Amino acid sequence: MRILLVEDDELLQRALAAALAEAGMELDVLGAAEPALDALSHGMHDLAIVDIGLPGMDGLALLRELRRSGNKVPVLMLTARDGLDDRVQGLNEGADDYLIKPFLLPELLARVQALIRRSQSAASSRVEVGPLAMDIASHEAELAGQPLTLTGREWDLLLALVLATPKVLAKRKLADSLSRWDKEITDNAIEIYVSRVRNKLADSGVTIRTVRGIGYRLDLVPA
């Protein structure tokens, strides 16, 4: 799970980052709303933890812009404001949960895990192309009924191709799906990942076809 923490208090940043990392979660940390909006627009995060009292654009304004753009990433709001009106406003703006400072780290972790489980349950789906099956919620893949081991980037690449089937997926769009919000992937790297996944699919009845000058397509191989 990849989480974006938007918090300007450096002490709290470090404490939360340590707790979330210990719980096995990947974390990106930002201290302001504007770069957070950009980061979240790339769809790489499973959850955002957002402090209301941010400098400049506050957390509620960030949340408002996020939902206005159609982004449905779960958002846990952190606030020192304990007034009911503030909490109601945040929930009306599209917050999924609220945590009032000061709070205990176990409570934060419990709420984070609950939001992620809820999100995964809502988005749970299994997609199949011939002998290949991918479970988006559990992040597991099978090939002819056997587990298929994939790295994170290999999973992202193969899932993008599966979801695009039977259409051709442009190389640039494929690169975008593998890029992290703060680091783009090169065309050469795409070719390396395609080669690795193609090897893992060898002799299975499904393969990745190169469509010259355009991109890639997942194809069934005739028996």
Backbone angles phi, psi at 24, to 5 degrees: 85, 20
Give the start-to-end residue ranges of the domains of the chain: 2-123, 126-220
pLDDT at 182 over 90: no
What distance separates the 2 farthest-apart alpha carbons in the chain? Answer: 66
Measured N-to-C along each axis, helices 59-68 and 84-93 cross at an angle, to the nearest 10 degrees, of 20
Is the dihedral angle over the CA atoms 71, 103, 35, 65 positive or is it negative?
positive
Write out the CATH class of domain 2-123: alpha beta
pLDDT at 133 over 90: yes
Tell me the per-residue pLDDT of 150-172, one tens digit each, with 9 for 90 and over: 998 899 899 889 888 888 988 88
Tell me the per-residue pLDDT of 99-127, one tens digit each, with 9 for 90 and over: 888 888 888 998 898 888 777 665 556 78
User: Within 10 A of 16 (CB to CB), how many other CB atoms are there?
Assistant: 22
Tell me the per-residue pLDDT of 2-46, one tens digit each, with 9 for 90 and over: 899 999 999 999 999 999 988 888 899 999 999 999 999 888 888
- Residues 126-220, CATH architecture: Orthogonal Bundle (1.10)
